[in-house]
Amino acid sequence: MGSGQRAVGTPGALVKLLLLTGCRRDEICYLRRAEVKADKLEFPESRTKNDEPHTVPITPAIRRVLDTLPKFGEYVLTGADAGLGGHSKARAAIKTPGLAHWTYHDLRRSFASGMARLGVPIHVTEHCLNHKSGISNRPLVRIISSMITRPKSKRLSRSGARTSSR
């Protein structure tokens, strides 16, 4: 989104929660009110891809998004007794000038990239993403991490040319 543009409404809340939590699309689209505790989101193993329970702390930024959503209904995003379907329509409602194609999973990758930029150890990022040890996108996270920590003289510019450290 460009300067001055905001992702609003249910589609905006979905995108913000995906970026802030690193959760999978369906974990947020079908987030039940009972899974939202005072200070954390608790996903039972029946709702996660790897069949492991997953806990996400509620940060102030996550709380601000949650506070904009309806306070009724079983499902948090919709305020209804059905989760958020129509993912393509929700994605189309988010204006992304200059970005021809993106997926919700790209937001999960952005979360992982942000963690790498912050210097968060890979095993912590994998835990935040609820990856089982040994079956994750560890190579991707390692590549991102090495790109960020690589000396400036070895980095590639956006055009693919090496940048100069001079």
Residue 133: burial class (beta carbons within 10 Å; 0-12, 13-18, 19+): exposed
Q: Would you give per-residue pLDDT tens digits along the chain (166 residues)? A: 444 456 668 888 998 999 999 999 999 999 999 999 999 999 999 999 999 999 999 999 999 999 999 999 999 998 888 878 766 666 666 667 677 777 778 888 889 899 999 998 988 888 899 887 655 455 555 554 454 455 555 544 444 444 444 4
Residues constituting the chain: 166
Q: Structural domains in the chain?
A: 9-153 (1.10.443.10)
Q: What is the pTM of this model?
A: 0.71
Encoded tokens for 72: 């009724």
Task: For residues 47 and 81, give the distance between their C-alpha atoms in angstroms, rounded to a whole number.
Answer: 17
Q: Which residue has the tokens 């390692």?
A: 142
